[in-house]
Structure formats: C-alpha cells, structure tokens
Amino acid sequence: MDEIKQDFRCRRCGACCRIKDGIVRVSDAEVSRIAAFLGMDDASFIANETELAPDRKSLALKSRADGSCAYLADDNLCRINPVKPDKCRTFPFEWTNPDSHEVCPGLSRQESLPRSKDEIRREMRARRKALSAAERAEASVVICTKLARSSGLGEVIDPFEIGSPIAVYLASPDEIDLRAYIERLLWFGLKVVAPRWNGETYELAVLKGLDARHLRRGPMGIMEPVDAEIVPAKEVYGWIVPGLAFTRDGRRLGYGGGWYDRLLADAPKDAVKLGVAHSFQVVDNLPAEPHDIALTAVLDDSLADNALDFRRT
C-alpha cells in the first residue's frame, strides 16, 4: 500500500466523483459541517441537498442525472472541498471501491506514465459524448460570449484590428458550437472562412451564412461553406480552432488527421490562433511533436475570465 501511495498523483480528473452508482454517505457531523460551509441550516441542507441512501441506512449527497456528484464543478474540482465528506477525503486509500484502479488514473502505476495521444483522445471523446445537450449548449454560450464580449467583437481576437478574414469551424454535434459568434461576425459584415474538403485536403472557403443556402454536408459529416471563394491560410490573421485537448500554454491535440496543423502551418506567424474547449479538455501536459503548431491561447467554458489573460500583445 505504501508503494501505491508513493506512486499516487491525483490528476484532478473528477472521475471518483462520477462513479456510476457511487454513494457519498454523510454523517450528522458532516451534514452540519457542509451546511455551515454553504451558509445553510442543517434542516434545509438535509431537505435540499441530500437523499436517502438506497439501503436507507444513512443520508447521501444528491447526484445528478448522469450519476455525478452535485458538488462537482465544471473544472473537476469539488465545490465543498474544504469540508468534503471523509469518504471523499480518503479515496482511493482508506475508502475505496472494487473499480478504484480502473476509475482512478492517479492510482494506476501504468496510468501514471505519460499517456499516449490516442488514450487522451479516447478519454476526451467519451467525456464530450457524456455531456447533455443542455451542458453543451451552455458551454457554447459561454465560449461565444467570451469571444464576442466587451470591446466590439472581443478582446482576444478583434477582427477590425486584425483586418483579415476570421477562420472559424462549423461544429460537429459533440463540439462547442460557434454559431452565435459566427452570426455576430457576419452581422458586422466581416469576412468569415471555414474549412472545406476539396477532394484532397482542407482549404478555407468563405462562409456567407449559416442557413441551408450557404452550407453543405462534407465527407466527414461536418457542414462546410458552399461559396466558391477560397482564402489562402497565409492571409488569415484570426483563427478559432477546435480540438480534443489543450494545454494552457497553447499545445493542441486534434483528431489525428493533422488537417488543422497543416492549415495553421500556412497561417502568418503573428496570426492569433485561439483554441476553444470545455474546461476538462484543458490538461497539464500533452505529448508534443515537432510539427505541432502552438496556439496563442485557449478559452475554456469555465466562468474564469481567461479571455483577458491572452489579450493580443
């Protein structure tokens, strides 16, 4: 056990707070502790924040419909961390469950080695798929608001200042949807481009609208612009790019085809290249390759004001 403890490094992945059918029992003392932390009295806390455990032997914290704990925040952190129940505090050592080694990447010695790109892709695809339509829509609203907020069209990418087309992507059902931001760009009369497959590779085609007249379904099932005009990547100074995982310092893990890296490789050196992501897609580290193109910044769907951190300098 000591050896396992020594190897353990919590990845802050929140998987232990999403264990299917996981029950977080709370004692009377824990009820009072958490209620006080939340500024509630014990009775309201019990009525609103707990439920009877399935064996009816104790109270347990409420779970969401997907089985995750109601106190798990978008950034995978516990909203009641300073007063969380002992069961959570002692996972995965004193308290454990039969699946702990499978659930907890911090516990597995193999998983504590650097993960491959494919492993990270698999995890991120699964986590994105597990989101409800409402969660995805909420994340899209946050990202589009961050992109478009305050001064004109945004402080990270200001299309008026950049004076070039803005490259966006048209989202697949699992991706953050940029339509609200794209509509805003078009409403301001700005030139917008998006990837389109030409039979051999992706190029940037002008996007004139988001209705059926302006779009067609591409070979990968992703919508593409129909307009004939193509804009070379070397003329585009503002990019908003999708991905499966990102690091804060701008590394990006794509879908494996390398299409975006190829497009970005032709972008001007001083182009603003912005990744957008759910906060769980922003990780500490990613395997790097020599051909990877670093992004200027990553905006996530947390309420953190990370747009300002990456203002163009």
Residues interacting with ligand SF4, by CB under 6 A? 10-17, 24, 61, 69, 71-72, 78, 80, 84, 88, 91-92, 103-106
- Shortest approach of ligand SF4 to residue 74 CB, angstroms? 12
Characterize 264-295 residue by residue with b for buried, 16 or more Cβ atoms within 10 angstroms of its Cβ, and e for exposed. beebeeebbbbbbbbbbbbbeebeeeeebbeb
- Shortest approach of ligand SF4 to residue 62 CB, angstroms? 10
Q: State CA 4 to chain mean position distance.
A: 30
The smaller minimum CB distance to ligand SF4, of residues 18 and 273, is found at 18
Q: What is the DSSP string of 176-225?
A: PP-HHHHHHHHHTT--EEEEEE-SSSEEEEE---SSGGGEEE-TTS-EEE
Secondary structure element (H or E) that encloses residue 118, with its range = helix 117-129
Helix (H, G, I), strand (E, B) or coil at 241: strand
Which value, to the nearest 10 degrees, does the dihedral of the CA atoms of residues 158, 237, 201, 185 take?
Answer: 20
> What does the alpha-carbon distance between residue 208 and residue 193 come to, in Å, rounded to a whole number?
8
The smaller minimum CB distance to ligand SF4, of residues 15 and 59, is found at 15
Q: State CA 250 to chain mean position distance.
A: 14
- Shortest approach of ligand SF4 to residue 55 CB, angstroms? 18
- Count other C-beta atoms under 10 Å from residue 256's C-beta: 10
The smaller minimum CB distance to ligand SF4, of residues 105 and 159, is found at 105
- CA angle 295-298-299, nearest 5°? 150
The smaller minimum CB distance to ligand SF4, of residues 38 and 180, is found at 38
The smaller minimum CB distance to ligand SF4, of residues 78 and 185, is found at 78
The smaller minimum CB distance to ligand SF4, of residues 223 and 283, is found at 283
207 by Cβ neighbours in 10 Å (0-12 / 13-18 / 19+) ranks as buried
208 by Cβ neighbours in 10 Å (0-12 / 13-18 / 19+) ranks as middle
> What does the alpha-carbon distance between residue 188 and residue 249 come to, in Å, rounded to a whole number?
31
- Shortest approach of ligand SF4 to residue 85 CB, angstroms? 6
- Shortest approach of ligand SF4 to residue 168 CB, angstroms? 33
- Shortest approach of ligand SF4 to residue 10 CB, angstroms? 3
The smaller minimum CB distance to ligand SF4, of residues 71 and 260, is found at 71
